[in-house]
Amino acid sequence: MDAELVTIGTELLLGFTLDTNSAFLGQRLGGIGVRLTRRSTVPDELEPIRSAIVEGLDRTRLVIVSGGLGPTHDDVTKRVVGELFQVPLEFSAAIWDELVGRFARLGRVLSERNRCQAEVPRGAHVLPNPRGTAPGLWLTGEAGEAILLPGVPGEFRGLVDEQVVPRLRERSRNRVVRSMVIRTTGIAESALADRLASIEPQLAPLTLASLPGLAGVDLRLTAWDLLPEEAQPLLERQAERIRTVTGDHAYGADEDDLAAVFLAECRRAGVRVGVAESCTGGMLGERITEIPGSSEVFAGGVIAYANSVKEELGVPARILDQYGAVSQEAALEMARALQRRFSVDLAIAITGVAGPGGGSEAKPVGLVWFGFADRKNAVARRVVFPGSRHDIRARACQFALWQAWLRVRAGEGETERRS
Ligand code: AMP
Ligand code: MG
């Protein structure tokens, strides 16, 4: 079953109010197998509201409308829809009395202005709204069905969950639209697409979306219009197939945070971690300590921003003079120095050019060197990240966590301590 959503509000178009109702409805309808095929946002004006609803009804015969049910002159949804369904607005004494009574219990007097909120297009089913003064309305006619809901987010959500979802669920015969996200990092969207090309035809009837962000590329697999007991195993089987081609780049599912995945691996392996951060200025430590229980694994770190602090940490001045602070040698020495100082099993060092200034041909903005030192060895990695200063710093933290996770998973950093 398909449906469309029309959100009404000039403030939504001006960008002063974020359209959170749309996201909420999309998720709820997905959960009951109703495909939201289009959303339109229109100003508080008769003609745009009318045409958006008419066009939506033409396409899907089911339109959900958010907003414009208030008591002010710009709240015209009911009038428009009444005309569309060719029914007059009628005053409902039952709704009015209920409102008056509710206000009286709160010691308040209802304004005459609210009388219009007790007007109902003839034949509409009234959806009680205990959180506000405008009830929801469900109209059925030759054109299809229109479900009118107040725009106030708390009221909208309450009516969706209590009145709309239960009725639509019955009709969709318990079908669901269900998604699963496979989170990847350290690989560009295009390179990922190349790897997925060979298996993509076999994913049907599931669909696959690629969603790039600072943490990496999320792959969203979606099952449409299936019973939950059919959707879940299908999603799991196909997610497994995707993981075989994404390999080390896939670190988790759905909302998984790489920092949490990394810490869990450290806990399993008994690895204690420390960080030496230059261009990320504590961001990596923040990512790690954001995770509850990080103290079991995380010793601490040093923000070695100025060269003098890098030296104090234990990086030889001659290394900084000869190779510069953003260099393979500096990253390695930062990691080694921190590992010795804190006696951790794995030290992670980051030094780079976050920009926007300070880049050169040899060391462009976005260049970051990473050092990883365990009790025996140290290795360095070099990456040039795209984006703003914030993006570069965030991507550098994610990359550091990814490499550190792979090292711990492979058993690096625990050999000596265990032997
Ligand atoms: P209305 O029902 O149009 O009078 O809207 C009442 C309140 O809800 C206003 O403060 C709007 O800014 C807010 N609102 C309306 N539509 C939305 C929406 N789609 N998402 C979030 N808030 C909304
Ligand atoms: Mg409004």
Both 155 and 136 in one domain: the answer is yes
In the block, tokens 């790897």 appear at 195
Q: What count of other Cβ atoms lies within 10 Å of the Cβ of residue 168?
A: 20
Do 134 and 214 lie in a common domain?
no
Residues 231 and 301 in one domain: no
Q: How many CA atoms are closer than 13 Å to the CA of 48, on its beta-carbon side?
A: 14
> How many domains would you assign to the chain?
3
Contacts of 2 (CB under 8 A, 6+ apart): 34, 35, 36, 37, 59, 60, 62
Last residue of one domain, picked from the residues 108, 139, 169: 169
Decide which of 213, 231, 253 is a domain's last residue: 253
> In this structure, what CATH number is given to the domain that contains residue 387?
3.90.950.20
- Of 223, 253, 283, the one marking the end of a domain is 253
Q: Which residues surround ligand 2, an ion (CB under 5 A)?
A: 9, 67
Cβ atoms of 402 and 186 within 8 Å: the answer is: yes
321 and 403 co-located in one domain? yes
CATH at 201: 3.30.70.2860
* Cα–Cα separations (whole angstroms), residue 187 to 247, 279, 328, 352, 409: 11, 22, 22, 20, 19
State whether 77 and 27 are in the same domain.
Answer: yes
- Ligand 1 site, residue 377, Cβ cutoff 6 A: no
pTM for the predicted model, two decimal places: 0.83
Pocket flag, ligand 1, residue 155 (CB < 6 Å): no
Per-residue pLDDT of the chain (419 residues; tens, 9 = 90+): 899 999 999 999 999 999 999 999 999 999 999 999 999 999 999 999 999 999 999 999 999 999 999 888 778 999 999 999 999 999 999 999 999 999 999 999 888 888 888 999 999 999 999 999 899 999 999 989 999 999 999 999 999 999 999 999 988 888 889 999 999 999 999 999 999 999 999 999 999 999 999 999 999 999 998 999 999 999 999 999 999 999 999 999 999 999 999 999 999 999 999 999 999 999 999 999 999 999 999 999 999 999 999 999 999 999 999 999 999 999 999 999 999 999 999 999 999 999 999 999 999 999 999 999 999 999 999 999 999 999 999 999 999 999 999 999 999 765 444 43
- Same domain assignment for residues 298 and 374: yes
Mutate to test the pocket of ligand 1, among 42, 66, 74 (most ligand atoms within 8 A of CB): 66
Domain containing residue 104: CATH number: 3.40.980.10
CA torsion sign for 82, 86, 92, 95 is negative
Q: Which amino acid is present at 11?
A: E
DSSP SS3 for 90: strand
Residue 210 placed within a domain: yes
Q: Locate tokens 């030759």: which residue?
A: 142
Q: What is each CA distance from 202 to 48, 192, 209, 227, in whole angstroms?
A: 43, 16, 15, 20
Does one domain contain both 12 and 38?
yes
What is the pairing mode between strands 207-213 and 136-141? unpaired
Mutate to test the pocket of ligand 1, among 8, 12, 45 (most ligand atoms within 8 A of CB): 12
| Alpha-carbon span 142 to 299, nearest angstrom | 68
In a domain, 246, yes or no: yes
151 lines ligand 1 (CB under 6 A): yes
Q: 279 with 392, same domain?
A: yes
Q: Given the CA of residue 11, which atom of ligand 1 is nearest to it? A: 12
Range of the domain at 264: 258-410
Lookup: tokens for 254: 């759905």
